[in-house]
Amino acid sequence: MRRTTALRTALSAALLIGAWAGAGFPSASAADTPTGSSSTAPASDGLLTAMQKDLGLTASQARARLSAEKTATALQPKARHAAGASYGGSWFDPATGDLTVAVTDAEQAAAVRATGAAVRMVTHTEKSLDSVKAKLDKLDAPSGVSSWHVDPRANKVVIDVVASRQSDNDVQAFVRKARETGPVSVEKTTEAPKTFSAGTVGGDPYYTGNVRCSIGFSVYGGFVTAGHCGQAGAGVSGWDGSYIGNFQGSSFPGDDYAWVNVGSGWWTVPVVLGWGTVSDQLVRGSNVAPIGASICRSGSTSHWHCGNVLATNETVNYSQGAVYQMTKTSVCAEPGDSGGSFISGDQAQGVTSGGWGNCSSGGETWHQPINEILNRYGLTLHTA
């Protein structure tokens, strides 16, 4: 994008407003380090309107939820530390506005409550459940198995299978082997997951070859996006066909992340595009939102949509291979949205990887957590 073009063009070239498009599947670890801090700026009218539409809230309910989620996000690491080795996971409860922490040791419960979090006693620690999931990651999953993740609320590892394939012999064999590893439950999903890249079409995308994807977040020197959108060395052009840069690193499957350097008149800004649905959103950090928190996505095909965080540390079984440590959401997405931004409040969460469904009938979408991408490539998130 050239600096002499209109403001809308400038923003898109800015690369990035980071956010415009895409789909991305990455993985994240508990050791990921967040960037920046949460803003005290009030939510925009556009964001509140989007939450009312997609989450069925009133304006006052949306404001109250954002405030409670901000408190829970800040509380999460403190409560985890208080739980110590008995930590069994945590999640945000929209009904009460509380962060709930699962613990296995009653003696640690008081310390967790002292932080302000609610407590639920469970049998299994997060560490033991992560061990079970790690064993499943080593199994050869058939295409009828969609994904699996540690669910702190169920205190089990949950396997999602495609409903129409649940009776397949290979699916049943996988489930039997999974149950031998530890506490496992099975749930049904409608469709198998797929990535959300697309062939070349008009709009505000970026292109590599004949593939269209979306920008995730601006980093100093470039932007992050989905790994399935291009291999290292591949050239990238903007919505207007002008050259942006090249994929400097890319990983897929296993992970689903990449980063692209920026030059040739393009530059970076700490913004996620609102597509006229909401005002463009400033990015102020990358603190991880808890399970249950609201989250929104920006992409070049379906633009701006919101939903909830459903699960973390999920393994997604794409046809190209498994991708680990993904975050699952109830936000819809469509082809071309791959690589685009997932944001909670003003905190960057990840880049769109894939999912199932669409934004007419609904569906679920996974994102690659942003902090793992930053750590992997030594990048610094561009923040306001």
Supply 199's token pair. Answer: 């062939």
Residue 34: per-residue pLDDT: 53
Tokens of 371: 């902090």
Percent of the chain with pLDDT over 90: 76
> Catalytic: which of 12, 27, 298, 338?
338
**DSSP annotation of 105:** -
Answer yes or no: is pLDDT of 96 > 50: yes
pLDDT band of residue 28 (cuts 50, 70, 90) is very low
pLDDT of 240 > 90? The answer is: no
CB within 8 Å of 34: residues ≥ 6 apart: 285, 286, 287, 288, 347, 371
Q: Reply yes or no on whether 338 is catalytic.
A: yes
Residue 197, C-beta contacts closer than 8 angstroms, at least 6 positions apart: 22, 23, 211, 212, 213, 226, 228, 229, 335, 336, 338
Closest CA to 123 of 76, 98, 86, 82: 86
Q: Which of 228, 303, 305, 382 is catalytic?
A: 228
pLDDT for the residue numbered 332: 96
pLDDT value of position 153:
97
Distance CA 165, CA 168 (A): 5
Over 90: is that where the pLDDT of 257 sits?
A: yes
Please list the alpha-helical segments (H only) found in 141-250. 169-179
- DSSP annotation of 158: E
| Residue appearing with tokens 């469970």 | 122
Known catalytic membership, residue 303? no
> 54, 98, 151, 256: which is the annotated catalytic residue?
256
Task: Give me the pLDDT at residue 205, please.
Answer: 82
Confidence (pTM) = 0.83
Which of 35-39, 61-65, 246-250 shows the lowest mean pLDDT across its residues? 35-39
Confidence of residue 45 (pLDDT cuts 50, 70, 90): confident
Burial of 163 (0-12, 13-18, 19+ CB in 10 A): middle
Closest CA to 340 of 8, 16, 7: 16
What confidence score (pLDDT) does residue 14 get?
A: 44
Could you confirm whether 98 is annotated as catalytic? no
- Per-residue pLDDT for 209 more than 80? yes
What b/e string do you get for 254-274 counting C-beta neighbours within 10 Å, with b at 16 or more? ebbbbbbbbeeebebbbbbbb
- pLDDT tens digits, 273-307: 888 888 888 999 999 999 999 999 999 999 999 99
- Residue 349 predicted with pLDDT over 80: yes
- pLDDT value, residue 37: 46
Rounded CA separation 225/74 (Å)? 26
Residue 39: pLDDT band (50, 70, 90) is very low
Burial (0-12, 13-18, 19+ Cβ within 10 Å), 366? buried
